[in-house]
C-alpha cells in the first residue's frame, strides 16, 4: 500500500549539521522504501544493491546477480589467531627487518593513489565491488594479478600497519620539490630527479584497537588474499588468481575465445608470426601458432581479447570457435554467458529442398502484400484452391472435311490457281468469267 503524504512547510531556521544529515538519510531511506513498494505493487522483481561490495541480489529468488569481475569482488576473510597483547618495540623491528624488501605475487589488482586498499585483519576488503573498480579506473593500475610486487616500506601506527608496494603511490620529497636554492637567476631545485611519477601502491592492514603481537608468518597469512608470498613461478602465480576451468586451459596450453593477451601468452607463448588486417571496419591482429604438418592455430585478437579461434589440421576441415567462454567465468558467480541448453547451430540444406508433402505443409506462394493486408476483392472466407481446368485441345483439321467452312474462311484472291487436270470426282470444270474491262474474243 502506498500513501501520499502532503509536502511539509519549510522551517524558517536551518537545521544543525548532524540533524540535517540524519534527515537526508531518512529521506533516502523513505525513497528506497517507496521504490520497493512500487516494485511490489507492479509485480516486478525486487533487487538489493550492496553499495559496499557491489553485489546485486534478486530478493524473489535469492540469487546473486553478478555484474562485477571476480577480481574486484569481496574477499573471503582469513582466520588467523591473534594475540591480545600489544606489539612491543623489539617485535616491531623484527617485522620491519623481515617484511622490508620481501617479494610476493599480487592476487588482486592494486590501484595507484594516496589512499590505496584497506584490509581488515580477519575481515573484509575496503573498497570492494563497484568502488574498487572505479578506483582502479580513475587512479590507474599499479600491479595486475600475477605480477611480482616488492614491499619497499613498512610503517606501524596505533592500530594499523601500512605497506608501501613498488615504491609507494606518493612521490618522494613532494614538498621539497617546490624549493629551489641559488643566487640570482641561477636556481637549482633541492630534489634532483627526473620528475617521474610514482607507480606504486599502498596497502593498509587495520586492527580493532591496537596492533597485537605478530610474527612474520602471521602477517603473510593475513595478507594472503591480496599478496601471495609462496615460492611460485610467474605462470603459477597468475593462474592461481583465475577460475579452475580457465587455469586448467592455460596449464594445458589451450586457447579459449574471450582470453586476453596475457592469458594467451601464458598458455602458448609468443606467436611465430603476426598479421594485421581489417574485417570491414574492425581492425584485428592474427596470431599464428604452429606450421604444417603440425596443427596450426589462428588466434584473432581485437583490442585485448580473443574474438575468434581457428584450428587447422592436415587433411581435415578447419574448426572455428567464436563463442566467448571466458567472460562468464570471470564474473563473480562463475556462470557462463549462455546456458548449455541454448544451441547456436542450424542445419542448412544444400541444393533444391523438396519437402515431404505428407508431413510438411507446402510453402506459401510469394506475394507483394504486407502481412495481414487484404484486397477489396478478397472475402472473409478462407480461400480454397479450386481444381485447375486445362483448355481442351482442338482436333487437327483434315483437308476436305469441311469444304463450306474452308471456302468461307479463305478469300478467292488467296486461293492458288488449280494445278493439273481436274479430278473426275470433282465434276466438270466451270468456265471462269473474264475480269471486268477485259475484251471478249469474237
In a domain, 139, yes or no: yes
- Confidence band (pLDDT; 50, 70, 90) for 433? low
251's grid cell? 596449464
Asked if the model's pLDDT at residue 287 lies above 70, the reply is: yes
Residue 131, Cβ density class (10 Å: 0-12 exposed, 13-18 middle, ≥19 buried): middle
- Confidence band (pLDDT; 50, 70, 90) for 431? low
Number of structural domains found in the chain:
3
pLDDT for 117 equals 95
Residues 6+ positions from 88 with CB-CB distance below 8 Å: 213
Asked if the model's pLDDT at residue 407 lies above 70, the reply is: no
Mean pLDDT of 88-94: 92
Reported as half-sphere exposure (CB side, CA atoms, 13 A), residue 35 has a value of 9
pLDDT for 373 equals 84
Taking only the tens place, the pLDDT of each residue in 358-376 is 777 777 778 888 888 887 7
Residue 99 belongs to domain spanning: 89-176+196-236
In a domain, 398, yes or no: no
213 and 143 housed in the same domain? yes
pLDDT for 436 equals 52
- Confidence band (pLDDT; 50, 70, 90) for 180? confident
Torsion angle, alpha carbons of 218, 220, 222, 228, to 10: -150
Mean pLDDT of 106-134: 93
214 and 160 housed in the same domain? yes
CATH code for the domain of 270 = 3.30.1450.10
Domain boundary among 207, 236, 265: 236
189 vs 66: which has the higher pLDDT: 189
151 in helix, strand or coil?
A: strand
22 in helix, strand or coil?
A: helix
137 and 270 housed in the same domain? no
- Give the integer Cα–Cα distance in Å for 80 and 62: 31
115 and 169 housed in the same domain? yes
118 and 229 housed in the same domain? yes
- Give the integer Cα–Cα distance in Å for 225 and 212: 20
132 and 221 housed in the same domain? yes
Q: Please measure the distance between the N-terminal and C-terminal CA atoms of the chain and give it in whole angstroms.
A: 133
Q: What's 260's DSSP letter?
A: B
Taking only the tens place, the pLDDT of each residue in 4-47 is 444 444 444 444 444 444 444 444 444 444 434 434 444 445 66
Residues 6+ positions from 235 with CB-CB distance below 8 Å: 250, 251, 266
Taking only the tens place, the pLDDT of each residue in 141-170 is 999 998 999 999 999 998 999 999 999 998
Asked if the model's pLDDT at residue 378 lies above 90, the reply is: no
pLDDT for 39 equals 41
In a domain, 383, yes or no: no
96 and 217 housed in the same domain? yes
Residue 336, Cβ density class (10 Å: 0-12 exposed, 13-18 middle, ≥19 buried): middle
Domain boundary among 304, 321, 338: 321
Judge whether 133 and 72 are in contact, CB under 8 Å: yes
Average pLDDT of the chain is 76
Please report the sign of the dihedral spanned by the C-alpha atoms of residue 301, residue 306, residue 307, residue 311: positive
The candidate with the shortest Cα–Cα distance to 163, out of 128, 114, 103, 204, is 204
Residue 285, strand partner residues? 276, 301
97 and 46 housed in the same domain? no
- Confidence band (pLDDT; 50, 70, 90) for 112? very high
In a domain, 317, yes or no: yes
Domain boundary among 306, 321, 336: 321
- Give the integer Cα–Cα distance in Å for 216 and 222: 10
Amino acid at each position: 500500500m502506498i500513501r501520499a503524504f502532503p509536502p511539509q512547510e519549510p522551517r524558517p531556521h536551518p537545521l544543525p549539521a548532524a540533524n540535517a544529515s540524519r534527515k537526508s538519510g531518512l529521506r533516502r531511506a523513505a525513497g528506497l522504501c517507496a521504490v520497493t513498494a512500487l516494485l511490489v505493487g507492479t509485480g516486478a522483481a525486487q533487487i538489493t544493491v550492496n553499495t559496499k561490495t557491489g553485489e546485486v541480489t534478486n530478493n524473489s529468488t535469492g540469487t546473486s546477480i553478478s555484474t562485477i569481475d571476480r577480481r574486484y569482488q569481496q574477499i573471503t576473510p582469513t582466520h588467523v589467531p591473534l594475540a591480545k597483547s600489544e606489539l612491543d618495540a623489539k617485535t616491531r623491528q623484527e617485522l620491519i627487518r623481515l617484511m622490508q624488501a620481501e617479494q610476493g605475487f599480487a592476487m588482486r589488482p592494486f590501484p595507484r593513489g594516496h589512499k590505496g586498499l584497506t584490509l581488515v585483519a580477519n575481515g573484509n576488503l575496503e573498497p570492494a565491488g563497484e568502488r574498487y573498480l572505479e578506483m582502479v579506473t580513475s587512479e590507474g593500475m599499479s600491479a595486475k594479478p600475477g605480477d611480482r610486487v616488492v614491499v619497499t616500506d613498512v610503517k606501524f601506527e596505533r592500530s594499523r600497519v601500512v605497506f608501501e608496494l613498488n615504491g609507494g603511490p606518493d612521490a618522494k620529497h613532494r614538498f621539497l620539490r617546490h624549493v629551489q636554492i641559488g643566487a640570482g637567476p641561477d636556481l637549482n631545485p633541492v630534489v634532483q630527479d627526473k620528475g617521474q611519477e610514482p607507480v606504486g601502491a599502498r596497502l593498509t592492514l587495520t586492527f580493532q584497537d591496537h596492533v597485537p603481537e605478530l610474527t612474520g608468518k602471521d602477517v603473510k597469512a593475513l595478507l594472503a588474499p591480496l599478496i601471495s608470498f609462496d615460492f611460485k613461478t610467474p605462470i603459477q602465480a597468475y593462474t592461481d588468481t583465475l577460475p579452475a576451468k580457465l587455469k586448467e586451459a592455460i596449464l594445458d596450453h589451450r586457447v579459449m575465445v574471450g582470453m586476453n593477451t596475457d592469458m594467451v601468452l601464458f598458455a602458448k607463448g609468443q606467436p611465430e608470426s603476426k598479421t594485421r588486417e581489417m574485417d570491414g571496419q574492425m581492425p584485428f591482429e592474427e596470431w599464428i601458432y604452429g606450421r604444417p604438418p603440425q596443427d596450426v592455430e589462428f588466434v584473432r585478437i581485437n583490442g585485448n581479447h580473443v574474438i575468434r579461434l581457428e584450428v587447422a589440421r592436415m587433411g581435415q576441415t578447419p574448426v572455428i570457435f567464436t563463442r566467448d567462454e571466458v567472460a562468464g567465468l570471470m564474473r563473480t558467480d562463475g556462470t557462463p554467458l549462455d546456458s548449455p541448453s541454448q544451441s547456436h547451430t542450424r542445419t542448412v540444406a544444400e541444393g533444391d529442398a523438396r519437402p515431404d508433402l505428407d508431413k510438411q505443409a507446402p510453402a506459401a506462394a510469394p506475394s507483394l502484400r504486407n502481412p495481414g493486408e487484404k484486397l477489396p476483392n478478397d472475402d472473409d472466407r478462407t480461400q480454397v484452391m479450386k481444381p485447375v481446368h486445362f483448355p481442351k485441345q482442338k482436333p487437327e483439321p483434315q483437308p476436305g472435311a469441311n469444304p463450306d467452312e474452308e471456302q468461307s474462311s479463305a478469300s478467292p484472291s488467296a486461293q492458288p490457281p488449280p494445278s493439273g487436270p481436274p479430278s473426275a470426282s470433282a465434276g466438270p470444270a466451270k468456265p471462269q468469267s473474264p475480269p471486268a474491262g477485259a475484251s471478249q474474243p469474237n
